[in-house]
Amino acid sequence: MCAGVVHLSAADVQPPASPTSVDEELLLPNWPAMAVPVINYTPETGWEFGGAAQAYIKLFSPRTSVIQIGGAYSLNRQWYVNAQGTLYFGTVLPWLLQFRAGYRNYPDTYYGTGAEPNKSGTYARNGTPYDSQRGYAFIQPLLHVGRSWYIGPHAEYLWERTLMQGADEWVTIQMPGIGVTAQFDSRDEVYYPHKGLMLKVSVSHYNRWWHSTCGLTAGQIDFRQYLPIGKQVVWCYQVRAAIAASLTPGEIPFQMLPTFGGQDLVRGIPYGMYRDNTMVGLQTELRFPIWRWIRACAFVGAGDVYDYRHWQWSRPKIGYGLGLRLTINRAKINIRADVARNNIYPSWGDIKGYGFYLTATEAF
């Protein structure tokens, strides 16, 4: 999400956790379903309005499953719809099914690849606006194989066509892929953890044999740890890395190149401003209570992209800021408001040097 964006959604909502011993949290509602509005503004879309809703249900397992749907429409006639969820099955041999799918007709900005400074010696990017029509689907069963380990295959499909500003023709890509994921998760709560760690490693392969635009193998590793350091005070950090490797690297569609920024990884950096075949990002956050259901946090993150064929270091892209949290139910779903600043635009008076985020999920 770029600077100047205000966004309210309910993406990535996790199943409810058990109530804690904190008296105030026991007074919160324990709704089986909830909905929030979507309000968004960017220079590309103008004002955007919609909604998102999620329901908690028990299907074939004592664990609670979650299903979410959402959508929005902008005054510039752009729109999107999506659905995602996590379904739990089995008691003797537990397993779960994660899925997401959606379609969007949306503008975006292409900033090029690489992380080196431009001719003026700065790291800012102006970018080229483009129109995008995208459909995607992802499904992943994960089998519980002991203690906190899960493993399973996944299948995904991405179709997108783009029209760059000034171009005469649309460019279409399609990327069907298959892969495998291994995950270790010892967090005490999935949505708002106080202790534990999570490690997730995934590999996906796309091949021209099944009509992918480009032959490509992509990998990602995501490590998170949560450490209690006081009463309801938590210090946590995340390290994430991704790579996209191909025998013909020049043919990799830019949409498949790793990137960072936006409302989740290194807040303050415009999402997609830096792309290349390798990405490394890390961030840390201190979470602490203020009063009853209100919490706050201070965070800092750094990330960059690289070309593994011609490795070259550049100045890390840094984002830092403060945030407020309002807990709205016992599942510890928080309304999150973050204000972040980056080191790309040095002037404190330049609005591009800031990111504003309002959402219903934690960054990690």
pTM of the model: 0.83
Residue 160 lies in a domain: yes
Instruction: Give me the domain span that covers residue 183.
Output: 23-359
Give the best-scoring range by mean pLDDT among 19-33, 76-90, 99-113, 167-181.
167-181
- The least confident of 49-63, 165-179, 312-326 is 49-63
Residue 88 clears pLDDT 50, i.e. is over it? yes
Residue 261 lies in a domain: yes
Q: Which residues contact 28 (CB under 8 A, 6 or more apart)?
A: 293, 327, 328, 329, 330
Residue 103 lies in a domain: yes
- The least confident of 52-66, 148-162, 202-216 is 52-66
Q: Residue 24 carries which DSSP code?
A: H
CATH number at residue 78: 2.40.160.50
pLDDT grade, residue 347 (50/70/90)? confident
pLDDT grade, residue 43 (50/70/90)? low
Each residue's pLDDT tens digit, 263-295: 889 998 988 899 999 999 999 999 999 988 889
CB 214 within 8 A of CB 248: yes
DSSP string for 117-135:
--TTS------EEEEEEEE
Residue 27 clears pLDDT 90, i.e. is over it? no
Query: What domain count does the chain have?
Result: 1
State the pLDDT at residue 92: 75
State the pLDDT at residue 353: 86
Residue 135 clears pLDDT 90, i.e. is over it? yes
Cα distances (Å, whole numbers) of residue 323 to 193, 336, 356: 17, 7, 10
CB 7 within 8 A of CB 361: no
Beta bridge partners of 302: 282, 318
End-to-end CA distance of the chain, in Å? 16
Q: Could you give the 3-state DSSP secondary structure of residue 355? A: strand
State the pLDDT at residue 2: 42
Each residue's pLDDT tens digit, 222-243: 999 999 998 889 999 999 999 9
Q: Residue 106 carries which DSSP code?
A: E
Residue 5 lies in a domain: no
Residue 15 clears pLDDT 60, i.e. is over it? no
Residue 34 clears pLDDT 80, i.e. is over it? no
Tell me what the pLDDT averaged over the chain comes to: 84
More confident residue, 364 or 13: 364
Residue 215 lies in a domain: yes
Residue 18 clears pLDDT 80, i.e. is over it? no
Residue 2 lies in a domain: no
State the pLDDT at residue 56: 78
Residue 17 lies in a domain: no
Residue 148 lies in a domain: yes
pLDDT grade, residue 170 (50/70/90)? very high
State the pLDDT at residue 9: 36
